[in-house]
């Protein structure tokens, strides 16, 4: 004979699962595909999503964070349809675990790395081998996305190492959780200098570009995108196709991104 309390609990659990399923189905009918994207894509991707929505499609649900955090969310089973990474490494990790839809991965965008200062700063510095970055910082800190986890920080470390400037500044880093946080530190004047993507600097009027790092000082800054294997939203493939189309790419170029292979 079934225990009456257990029977009630089981029934309630079934009702809850049914309710959650209903909510998920309703969301799929009223919201567009869920996109997990690197923080540096926020302005451009929001613009692209708005243009897509204005054409009569469901508005995509956009979530921005450091690529490392997004990859870990995907690996933990977070429901999403499309992943846009700020580097190949984290996309490789997700792919190696069989979490991407086969054949959907493609190199999407390219970016550059720049040194920035507050807009009202008069700091001048030529980026070259052995340049005096540590001296320019003085007692201040260099704002940079965490080099141990975030692609922008890894590129910064590669560039500074190649130019012989890493060791003197390693103890002067203001490590940020993503590149947009590093940008904000400089914009607010909390750090005298920072390293971010060129597109981030372009989007923030409170900073100015001091110099651009040579393309050969770091690995190519490439943004791959891919459909996740668990995606079942009807609009996922169409939205992906729109992003890589000429219309979609025109929006990203307006924000300073380039097509891969142009650098």
Q: Which residues of 9-38 are buried (b: 16+ CB within 10 A; e: fewer)?
A: eeeeeeeeeeeeeeeeeeebeeebbbbbbb
Q: Is the pLDDT of residue 164 over 70?
A: yes
Beta bridge partners of 142: 173, 193
Q: Is the pLDDT of residue 38 over 80?
A: yes
pLDDT at 5: 41
pLDDT band at 261 (very low <50, low <70, confident <90, very high): low
pLDDT at 30: 80
Q: How many residues does the chain have?
A: 263
CATH topology for 113-212 is: D-Maltodextrin-Binding Protein; domain 2 (3.40.190)
Q: Do domains 31-110+222-254 and 113-212 have the same CATH topology?
A: yes
Mean pLDDT for the chain overall: 90
Domain boundaries, the chain: 31-110+222-254, 113-212
- Give mean pLDDT, residues 158-165: 98
Question: In terms of pLDDT, which residue wins out, 89 or 26?
Answer: 89
3-state secondary structure of 65: strand
pLDDT at 49: 98
Q: Which CATH class is domain 31-110+222-254?
A: alpha beta
pLDDT digits (tens, 9 = 90+) for 177-197: 999 999 999 999 999 999 999
């Amino acid at each position: 004979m079934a225990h009456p309390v257990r029977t009630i609990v089981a029934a309630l659990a079934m009702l809850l699962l049914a309710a959650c399923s209903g909510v998920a189905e309703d969301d799929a009918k009223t919201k567009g595909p869920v996109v997990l994207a690197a923080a540096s894509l926020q302005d451009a991707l929001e613009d692209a999503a708005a243009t897509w929505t204005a054409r009569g499609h469901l508005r995509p649900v956009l979530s921005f964070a450091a690529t490392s955090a997004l990859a870990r969310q995907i690996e933990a089973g977070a429901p999403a349809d499309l992943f846009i990474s700020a580097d190949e490494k984290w996309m490789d990790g997700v792919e190696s675990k069989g979490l991407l839809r086969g054949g959907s991965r493609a190199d999407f965008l390219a970016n550059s790395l720049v040194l920035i200062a507050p807009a009202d700063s008069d700091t001048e510095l030529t980026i070259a081998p052995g340049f005096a970055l540590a001296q320019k910082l003085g007692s201040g800190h260099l704002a940079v996305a965490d080099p141990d986890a975030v692609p922008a920080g890894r590129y910064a470390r590669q560039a500074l190492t190649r130019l012989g400037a890493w060791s003197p500044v390693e103890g002067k880093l203001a490590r940020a959780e993503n590149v947009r946080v590093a940008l904000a530190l400089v914009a607010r004047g909390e750090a005298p200098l920072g390293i971010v993507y060129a597109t981030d600097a372009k989007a923030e009027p409170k900073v100015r570009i001091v110099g651009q790092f040579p393309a050969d000082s770091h690995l190519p800054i490439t943004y791959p995108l891919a459909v996740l294997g668990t995606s079942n939203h009807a609009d996922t493939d169409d939205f992906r196709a729109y992003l890589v189309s000429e219309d979609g790419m025109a929006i990203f170029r307006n924000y300073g991104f380039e097509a891969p292979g142009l650098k």
